Structure 1
């Protein structure tokens, strides 16, 4: 499967910005969920080396891809963490809700939105967008230690061999498990945390 990539025009010496396809994002989500199941998530992020594992995982699905750990995967994670933080903050405040069917933020009144934008300027453009990965982000980038409670569709644990899974809805590439030689991380192993 080929990746569809578009680039914006570089501005004054800066690198061009990469736009991810939906298929690439879904494969990244699958890889991140797999790393969570294998114990690679620490209290404050993923263990060192996670992005290189994801680079290899994405390369299995898109052999001709230009997606690298640096800057693309780490940048995507930074953006997702920032968006997750803003969405979580809104949901924790009075006057905000979440629409599960459309994956959008709901706001009771306009003045509530205006006050919140003053508090969190990052959310200014978030109001009318859909957030299809938010439930995945809860498990992947949420502050609490991952329990696996929200993990969907994985028939194995860190002690069982990886088996092929049916693709997620809208995903045309078959699921390819992360390499079996990636060790499961112990829950109390704090070495290499980021």
Structure 2
């Protein structure tokens, strides 16, 4: 489905985000029905009613995962929770003694190692014994935007 909204009076060089803000702010402007979302390109800022893909992610990947997992939920907040969960799992997996069972999609860790990690990241407490069915999709969506310690170098002062 394709939707086109025309707002006359703007120059060609006007940023899409500015035009969208103007269209939403007008009394008889663009309205987004509650519970619906428009898919926009990554040039738009995050805002309620509009979903923009993460850099380097195909839009259909995110939409398919969202449609499969949420019915009537706020999709922007769902994406935020997914991103936070993915970040926590990624940090956990970078540590010794913590793994991910790819069959069950569950964290594998001893009680002692887990208790030690939860002291560092309290959010991790909610992740034990849960299956992360969308972990591989999250890796495709969020993985490229994640900073890792890989290839990091120390700064040497002389």
TM-score by length of 1: 0.41
> Greater CA radius of gyration, 1 or 2?
2
Query: Comparing both chains, which one has the higher relative contact order based on Cα–Cα distances under 8 Å and sequence gaps of 6 or more?
Result: 1
